[in-house]
Amino acid sequence: MPLLLLLGAILALACLFYWYLARSHGHWAKQRGIPTLPGCWPGVGHMLPTLLMRESLEYLATRAYRESPRPDASSVGIYFMRKPMLVLRDPDLVKQVLQSDFASFHHNGRDINPKADAILAKNPFFIHDLQAWRESRARVVGHLSGKKLSCLFAIARNVSEKMTAFIERRLAESKVQEYEAELKKLFVRYTGEMVANSAFEVEGQCFSDEREPGSFHVVAEGLFEPGWANVLKQAVVFFLPELAGFADVRFIPQSAEDFFRETLLSILRHRREQPQKPNDFLQFVLDTNDEDDIESIIADLLIYHTDVYETSSLTLAFLVYQLARNPEEQDKIRRHVRDASGGKPITYESLKAMGYLEQAVYESLRLIPPTPALYKRCSRATTLLGEDGAECRLRPGDGVMIPVQALQNDPRYWSEPEAFRPDRFGPEQLAERNRYLFLAFGEGPRMCVGMRLGLMLVKLAAATLLLRYRVAPSAKSPWPLEMDRTSFLAYAKGGVWAKFRRLEEAA
């Protein structure tokens, strides 16, 4: 009898524990018209592949979008561990979350523990307090006004010439007059040198063949290097901020923060002795901050670093990959760039006139956005009504995922979505299409503050390359690309490769 009682008690506890783990997993069944993605496990919800480091939250949202039990559903429910999370499949719901009901969704979904990452916590992307966010964003926007962008253009043009000199060295070393490049690694040299020159007034040595351990290039490269260690670190920093604070897990390593701080202090000492102040990003930041507030200055510089360094290099890599795979479009864009520049060196004004090149950038971003999904968090109780009649009641703290890549490649909204067609972003097409179907820069009040800067850098690099080189596909990159599903950014397995040949030799 005692044994039976013991077994009964164990069974009762097991049932109680199971009920505790699974009780929240009936949330979406109670909401009208919202299907649940299959594959929900007690306690971990749909996060098992994420916990096993096989799939990031962004790619989970993409999978939920594409594998919805109801193809016509405006949204689909998933579970982040035991917490319900809604994945949107309707651009009108996206508009409500990002724009019309912004007051209910002004939180981005990721949290940063300021004790562990004090610098990153100052980034407006991670600030939850609405007034603090407005002040921080306004300051960053002020650093990137039209007049200031024209000043940064002069620096960027010099960096683009360093890039072509680097490619020329590689071509001179080649017996077949061809340079086969992993594009992400090539363009991170360009964006890294831009950050070093414009924000830290140093030579980044990004186009140097030597890799000095203390150089800007090596330090900056380590912040975003793909790999399981960075994936694990990002998961802890963004989703377990309490653990990040306890274990001192940081997105920006202490060594990198110390490097940037020491570099900045050295520059400040030098600038105090100079009567003439340079027109660079660092000076724009100094003009709006107290020079003694080193933490805020570093925070603004690292916001700039993040916007320029990784996302712009990814955008360039995928754009050039598409141009290599679509030679007719490449030729068309090259003619357009020649006409806009008039056979003269590219200027800030002529770059702005390259509208078709900008359309190509948008189309590349549609196919592969650097961020596959956006993560928002409900900040006050509200209700989302889908065009299919679904009614979702959200509570403060509930998560909402917007699968950017899935929306931008959905055949319901885009004809031949896998095709590279810059004409999709012509004026007539833009006027006819729901603007919330293209979200590479986000939308609404929290739209990417670095959009104009990023477009300028990407267009300048692409135009500079097209005037000198023809790019061709490499056998090292498959078609289509196979993406690394473990990262919160869009990385391709094995890299993104293409071949460069001088135009006169490629003819």
Domain borders along the chain are: 24-502
- Do the Cβ atoms of 364 and 319 come closer than 8 Å? yes
Each residue's pLDDT tens digit, 242-274: 655 555 667 777 788 888 888 888 888 888 777
Phi, psi for 204 (deg, rounded to 5): -75, -15
Residue 221 corresponds to which amino acid?
A: E
Is the pTM higher than 0.85? The answer reads yes
Each residue's pLDDT tens digit, 284-306: 888 887 777 888 888 888 888 87
Each residue's pLDDT tens digit, 320-367: 999 999 999 999 999 999 999 999 999 999 999 999 999 999 999 999
Residues at the binding site for heme are 448
Task: 477-481: list long-range contacts, CB under 8 Å, 24+ apart.
Answer: 477/321, 479/325, 480/418, 481/321, 481/368
CATH homologous superfamily for 24-502? Cytochrome P450 (1.10.630.10)
Q: Quick one: 346 exposed, middle or buried, by C-beta within 10 A (0-12, 13-18, 19+)?
A: buried
CB atoms within 10 A of CB 496: 27
What is the helix (H) or strand (E) element at residue 394, kind and residue range?
strand 391-394
| Segment-wise mean pLDDT, segments of 10 residues, the chain, 507 residues | 63 55 71 88 86 89 96 94 93 97 88 74 77 82 86 96 97 92 96 92 86 76 66 63 62 80 85 79 84 81 84 97 98 98 95 98 98 94 92 92 98 97 96 97 92 96 98 94 91 96 75
Residues at the binding site are 448
**What are the C-alpha distances in Å from 372 to residues 319, 389, 459, 485?**
16, 27, 22, 10
CA R_g for the chain: 24
Output DSSP code: residue 422: G
